[in-house]
Amino acid sequence: MKKKPQKTYPRLTHPLVRDDDGQLRRASWDEALDRAAAGFRQAREQHGPDAFAMLSCARATNEMNYVAQKFTRVVMGTNNVDSCNRTCHAPSVAGLSAVFGSGGGTSSYEEVDHTDLIVMWGSNARFAHPIFFQHVLKGIRNGARMYAVDPRRTSTAEWAESWLGLNVGTDIPLAHAVGREIIHAGLVNRAFVERATTGFEEYAALVEPWTLTAAEKVTGVPAAAIRELAHAYATAERAQLCWTLGITEHHNGTDNVRALINLSLLTGQVGRYGAGVQPLRGQNNVQGGGDMGAIPNRLPGFQDILDPVARTKFERTWDAVIQPRYGMTLTEMFEAMESRDLRAVYCIGENPAQSEADSEQAVRRLKSLDHLVVQDIFLTKTAEMADVVLPATAAWAETEGTTTNSERRVQRVRAALVPPGEAREDIDILCAMAERLGHDGWKFADSEAVWNELRSLSPDHFGMTYDRLDEHAGLQWPCPDVDTLPSSFLHARLWETDPVKRGTPAAFGLVQHDPPVDLTDEEYPLRLTTGRRLDSYNTGVQSGSFASPLRRGEYIELCPEDAAAYGVEADEEVRISSRRGSVTAPVWIDPGLRPGLAFMTMHFPDEVDTNQLTIEANCPIAGTAEFKASAIRIEKLVPAWT
């Protein structure tokens, strides 16, 4: 079968504006900025500040994200700022914050090299996080045992001592069964639980019905395998529990995260070197974007907007009034487009037209906006819909600044290339936009000046000067002073015997099993789950521009048994349908899948738009959609000549 070539997107080198004929044309920077600012001003004046929203960029620098959220709050007067963090790891941030008061992973990568047990839960890190997976391999070579919990027998699972192939959406029953087994086997770290946690008795009662046998019936994981994992995790001297989107991209993603954190509290596998919980972030600065306040409920340094003391500090520095209420999440922004409460969007480095669940609905909502400005390095599908398109610099190669990775490590990035054409640095564009909206003097000497303003407001970052970041090849937050180096792990306080030093105890999460929203039935009998491949990145806009010997385009992956049952062969084109839409794709046969389970990616939306199939069933706490669980059917295509 001859496959269609992957669409490539041109690098933006000049501003573009849309004329009355509906076409984008080249414009000067002054015309484009004037047009963009006028649309924002009109939305604010006619409909109020909350008619505006900012989508900030998880691939841009910390400094850009800081300025973007400041622009939203100071210039536009709203807290409606968010990013693709909402699409992936917002449940991790919500769950970790609820338990520990901090939304970052608790350990460093180096600790994985030296731990005794690694649990990869809902994570094909070998493909999705290959740098982190090198640390997993080091840990295994140093004697660590690794367990993989995943519906698919992935490339990561091939390295595991045991693979627990659970049914999609049954993570909570499995976690509860592990917890119950730990309790009944007498393996609870009683001293830690009594001293550092709350809610244990309620938790024990909650998990009591989830016997090994009951969990096997719901999850599909053999009782013996559940028992083995429970005993291995509880008896390990140090264990790392890691997860990715297999946990978070569910309608109850935050509850899934809480269920995993419960296991670390039960066993004391947190707050020590080599023992912790680690959500693996999928983009170079998705952690940093949230840390910089590019989320609707937190100011920079993860300070709550509802805290009047924190708000007053920022208001004095910014000489502005900050709304004392949370803004819209990305999910709520799209709902507000539908209701017409949201009229103007400033989208920096994001491609929601292709990355959102139920993509046809997402495109329709974006088209309903009065004013859409896209600032990016490529003319993406979202940019093709914009009223104004602004060419920016590539954060990883053409910009000075910093980024923050999954282990909370802030690192410097430096400009190595001259940007093409008339492309301008993101912060420069934002400041020019602010001036056109009546905020004169919005200028920063350089990225370090932006960083120093952030440091003055965020205690977690105060000790991270550019010089210290250079000297130590990056530093992890919290880093509150310039004289000491931060710890590689968080929450050692929980082990303090002094209750004052120990601080707020960590609470067990009392969460219930809630199956996927999109149920399988006779009409849609297959469970579709989605994920990433090693050769491609997100919606393929960046990775599609270069060749890879690993890249084979989009397929629907089926197990041999399902392929035989449907009478389809490898490379045969089939129709895949859900309750929201249909696409066609060739078949790939993967023996790592179990009967009833299919797999696709979002890397090739111009050729196969997988998100036409996915469901916008959102986590009520974090707003993340259930990308991981759609009900589908497949049909053989009737040849055109019949």
Question: Among residues 524, 586, 629, 565, which one has the least CA distance to residue 170?
Answer: 629
Q: What is the full DSSP assignment across 88-143? A: TTHHHHHHHHHHHS--S-SS-HHHHHH-SEEEEES--HHHH-HHHHHHHHHHHHTT
Does the pLDDT of residue 7 top 90, yes or no? no
CB within 8 A of 22, min separation 6: which ones? none
User: pLDDT tens across 129-157, in order?
Assistant: 999 999 999 999 999 999 999 999 999 99
Residues 166-174, mean pLDDT to the nearest whole number: 98
Percentage of the chain beyond pLDDT 70 is 99
DSSP label of 569: -
The SS3 of residue 62 is helix
Binned at pLDDT 50, 70 and 90, residue 640 comes out as low
**pLDDT attached to residue 84:** 82
Binned at pLDDT 50, 70 and 90, residue 551 comes out as confident
Among 83-87, 298-302, 374-378, 379-383, where is mean pLDDT lowest?
Answer: 83-87
Tokens for 251?
């309608």
CB within 8 A of 641, min separation 6: which ones? none
Does the pLDDT of residue 548 top 90, yes or no? no
How many Å apart are CA 305 and CA 321, to the nearest integer? 12
How many C-beta atoms lie closer than 10 Å to residue 180's C-beta? 24
Question: Among residues 172, 152, 161, 156, which one has the least CA distance to residue 231?
Answer: 161
3-state secondary structure 282-305: CCCCHHHHHHCCCECCEECCCEEC
Q: Give helix 200-207 / helix 253-267 axis angle, nearest 10°.
A: 110
**pLDDT attached to residue 69:** 98
Q: Which residue type, as a one-letter code, is found at position 543? A: S
Helix, strand, coil share (%) of the chain residues, nearest 5: 35, 20, 45
Q: What is the full DSSP assignment across 190-259? A: HHHHHHHEE-HHHHHHHHTT--HHHHHHHH---HHHHHHHHHHHHH-SSEEEEE-HHHHSSTTHHHHHHH
Q: Which residue type, as a one-letter code, is found at position 198? A: T
Does the pLDDT of residue 397 top 60, yes or no? yes
Does the pLDDT of residue 3 top 80, yes or no? no
The answer to whether residues 570 and 564 touch, using CB atoms and an 8 Å cutoff, is no
**pLDDT attached to residue 357:** 84
Place of tokens 């789950």: 529
DSSP label of 612: G
Binned at pLDDT 50, 70 and 90, residue 371 comes out as very high
Binned at pLDDT 50, 70 and 90, residue 550 comes out as confident
DSSP label of 330: H
Binned at pLDDT 50, 70 and 90, residue 642 comes out as low
**pLDDT attached to residue 5:** 73
CB within 8 A of 363, min separation 6: which ones? 353, 385
Residues 506-532, mean pLDDT to the nearest whole number: 97
How many Å apart are CA 490 and CA 261, to the nearest integer? 14
The answer to whether residues 296 and 79 touch, using CB atoms and an 8 Å cutoff, is yes
**pLDDT attached to residue 271:** 98
Residues 514-536, mean pLDDT to the nearest whole number: 94
The SS3 of residue 34 is helix
How many Å from the N-terminal Cα to the C-terminal Cα in the chain?
19
Residues 231-235, mean pLDDT to the nearest whole number: 98
Percentage of the chain beyond pLDDT 90 is 89
Residue 533's φ and ψ, nearest 5 degrees, are -120, 160
For the chain, give the mean pLDDT: 95
User: pLDDT tens across 581-626, in order?
Assistant: 999 999 999 999 999 999 999 988 879 999 999 999 999 999 999 9
Q: Residue 44: left (phi > 0), alpha (psi -120 to 50), or beta?
A: alpha
Residues 17-31, mean pLDDT to the nearest whole number: 97
How many C-beta atoms lie closer than 10 Å to residue 495's C-beta? 16
Diameter over CA atoms, the chain: 80
Does the pLDDT of residue 122 top 70, yes or no? yes
Question: Among residues 72, 70, 77, 67, which one has the least CA distance to residue 318?
Answer: 70
Higher pLDDT, residue 544 or 485: 485
Mark 299-314 as b/e (b = at least 16 C-beta within 10 Å).
Answer: bbbbbebeeeebbebb
Among 202-206, 250-254, 354-358, where is mean pLDDT lowest?
Answer: 354-358
Residues 38-42, mean pLDDT to the nearest whole number: 98
User: pLDDT tens across 237-290, in order?
Assistant: 999 999 999 999 999 999 999 999 999 999 999 999 999 999 998 788 989 999
Higher pLDDT, residue 523 or 640: 523
**pLDDT attached to residue 641:** 58
The SS3 of residue 476 is strand
